[in-house]
């Protein structure tokens, strides 16, 4: 069984990609919705949450786990891995490999505030290619907006707000944009409209592609979805985003 972890609905797109690539694999998705958004928390608290999530996957018997949360990947992947005591992968390394392969020079990284402060994506990029010029831009309100259904690509108010947040990125004149939070995929049409012609790299898509290459499609193709709070709210947000198959049942396990 392959586990996928995120704080909310963002990782569901990683889950969808894995279901398409590995149709017979048994999958377990866990969203820590009780403590969303992770990106607004302190590093110490993020590490604690990561340990507790890792312990949950160990208890559920997952064979390996894909952390779809950019914030945990940046700040607490080692803690998650130690608690889970099984193979765990994050979203940073696969995304960095794809960006490096493209040959771009100036990379704008959009992520949560905690991820941006960590400079994890920046260091990973320049560690692979010192000639790359990265700029991390924290977008603290993007995840709450998305979780509450505000991601319509034709919403002028949303586009105006996103334009204000990303103004420093427009001045930066990037060759590529790396979405360092899996939630941000839902804002990609609006982001692309502000950066015409600039390619977007989604850390979640990159992670799913990388994992699908190493895993075999075996099992019964089952899907289990678990949250730590608000299953009805989560299901509504997921359906609004078109990120879960119809009829999916969402369980709630409560906080650790």
> Is the pLDDT score of 201 beyond 90?
yes
pLDDT in tens, 20-29: 999 999 999 9
What are 126's two structure tokens?
A: 């320049």
Domain 2-90+206-252 has CATH 3.40.50.720: no
Distance CA(92)–CA(79), nearest Å, equals 16
pLDDT of res. 255: 56
What are 44's two structure tokens?
A: 């110490």
pLDDT in tens, 202-243: 999 999 999 999 987 778 999 999 999 999 999 999 998 989
Per-domain boundaries in the chain: 2-90+206-252, 92-204
> Cα angle vertex 11, ends 9, 14, to 5°?
135
What are 118's two structure tokens?
A: 């960590």
Tell which residue, 108, 104, 114, has the closest CA to residue 134: 108
Report the DSSP beta bridge partners of residue 252: 227
Q: Which of 139, 181, 203, 252 is catalytic?
A: 181
Q: Residue 7 in contact with residue 36, Cβ under 8 Å?
A: yes
Query: Would you call 69 a catalytic residue per the annotation?
Result: yes
Q: Give residue 48's pLDDT band: very low, low, confident or very high (50, 70, 90).
A: very high
Q: Which CATH architecture has domain 92-204?
A: 3-Layer(aba) Sandwich (3.40)
pLDDT in tens, 168-189: 999 999 999 999 999 999 999 9
Tell which residue, 84, 159, 76, has the closest CA to residue 112: 76
* DSSP 8-state class, residue 115: H
Domain 92-204 in the same topology as domain 2-90+206-252: yes
Query: What percent of the chain is predicted at pLDDT more than 90?
Result: 91
Q: Taking the chain, what is the end-to-end CA distance rounded to the nearest angstrom? A: 22
What are 193's two structure tokens?
A: 């409209």
Distance CA(141)–CA(162), nearest Å, equals 10
b/e for 14-39, b at 16 or more Cβ within 10 A? bbbbbbeebeebbbbbbbbbbbbbbb
Q: Give residue 14's pLDDT band: very low, low, confident or very high (50, 70, 90).
A: very high
Please provide the DSSP assignment of 7-72 as one string: SSSTTHHHHHHHHHH-TTS-EEEEE-GGG--GGGS-HHHHHHHHHHHHHHHHHHT-SEEEE--HHH
Q: Give residue 200's pLDDT band: very low, low, confident or very high (50, 70, 90).
A: very high
What are 210's two structure tokens?
A: 């990388």
pLDDT in tens, 246-256: 889 999 997 55
Query: Would you call 252 a catalytic residue per the annotation?
Result: no
What are 229's two structure tokens?
A: 């709070």
């Amino acid at each position: 069984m392959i586990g996928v972890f995120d704080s909310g609905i963002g990782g569901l797109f990683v889950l969808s990609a894995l279901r398409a690539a590995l149709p017979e694999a048994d999958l377990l998705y866990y969203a820590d919705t009780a403590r969303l958004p992770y990106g607004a928390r302190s590093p110490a608290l993020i590490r604690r949450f990561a340990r507790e999530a890792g312990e949950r996957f160990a208890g559920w018997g997952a064979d390996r786990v894909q952390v779809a949360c950019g914030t945990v990947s940046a700040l607490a992947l080692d803690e998650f891995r130690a608690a889970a005591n099984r193979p765990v992968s994050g979203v940073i390394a696969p995304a960095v490999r794809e960006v490096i392969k493209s040959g771009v020079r100036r990379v704008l990284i959009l992520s949560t505030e905690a991820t941006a402060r960590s400079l994890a994506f920046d260091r990973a990029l320049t560690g692979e290619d010192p000639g790359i010029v990265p700029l991390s831009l924290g977008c603290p309100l993007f995840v709450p907006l998305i979780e509450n259904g505000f991601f319509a690509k034709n919403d002028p108010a949303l586009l105006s707000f996103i334009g204000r947040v990303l103004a420093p990125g427009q001045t930066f004149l990037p060759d590529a944009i790396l979405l360092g939070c899996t939630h941000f995929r839902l804002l990609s049409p609006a982001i692309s409209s502000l950066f015409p012609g600039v390619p977007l790299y989604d850390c979640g898509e990159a992670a799913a592609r990388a994992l699908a290459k190493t895993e075999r499609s075996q099992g019964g193709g089952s899907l289990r979805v678990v949250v730590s709070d608000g299953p009805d709210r989560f299901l509504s947000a997921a359906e609004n985003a078109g990120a879960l198959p119809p009829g999916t049942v969402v369980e709630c396990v409560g906080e650790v």
